[in-house]
Amino acid sequence: MKVFLPTFIILTCIVSLVIGNIHWNDKISDAGVSQPGTKQSKEESSKPSPDNEELVKYIGNWPKESKELYNKRLSEGKPFKILMVGSNSLGNEEYNLPDDLADQLNHVYGNTVHVDGLIYDMMSSQFVSQNKQKDLIEAKADLILFEPFTLKDNGNVAIEDSLGNITSVIKDVTAANKETQFILQPPNPLYNATYYPNQVDELEKYAKDNDIPYLNHWSNWPDQESEKMINLLNEDRELPNEKGYKIWSLYLEEFFVKQF
């Protein structure tokens, strides 16, 4: 009996220590604290999940900075915000490109990408003089797809001033939101126009000279001198009809969703 009692006490102590250690480790694990020998490196913890790895396969056409920011937003668990801005060339109450693009991207990216739109019935000079760029700043978008009122400026604002207004808008927005990137796109083409195509050519040249991505959706439309264009415009032949918007929308979808 003298031998048994000390042995029993020792065994009881050992069992209590083991059970206590298991309970403590479980509490640490539940709290998300790494234990010695199991600490993950920064690289391991920041690796995209399998689901995220599938998503990033579709951003092949995106600008480099936007790709990096999208991955950052994924790791943060926040949506990547795309804001489409421009004149009423972008749409109306019945049909508009921002809503259409939002639906298309939602099918692929789910809630990891959020698309919104701001449409203004004005010229670029009015946009700047009324300080509408504050709307863009307040939106805090990661990427702004900007149609810079080129069609509204046609015949009203000199191309030099129109391009200068683009510079002012981009400068003001990026000064306030350092991570915001811009992509430029032209408004819709017109049937058999004369001076307007030259303005759009200058817009594309401006984008190239300033290293700003440019989405030339005109490549998806028929030749502007073809009567096929008439069937893609509204009765006034100034803005797209639904068929025309579908052509434009398809181009944007193919850009933002690069299938592998």
pTM: 0.80
Burial 220-250 (b: 16+ CB within 10 A, else e): ebbeeeeeebeebbeeeeebbeeebbebbbe
| Per-residue pLDDT, 30 | 39
Give residue-wise pLDDT tens across range 50-102. 478 889 999 999 999 999 999 999 999 999 999 999 999 999 888 999 999 99
Choose among 66, 53, 51, 60: nearest CA to 258: 60
CA distance 229 to 237: 9
Tell me which CATH homologous superfamily contains domain 46-256. SGNH hydrolase (3.40.50.1110)
What are the C-alpha distances in Å from 59 to residues 20, 107, 180, 203?
A: 50, 14, 17, 25
Which residues of the chain fall below pLDDT 50? 1-48, 50
CA distance 201 to 107: 34
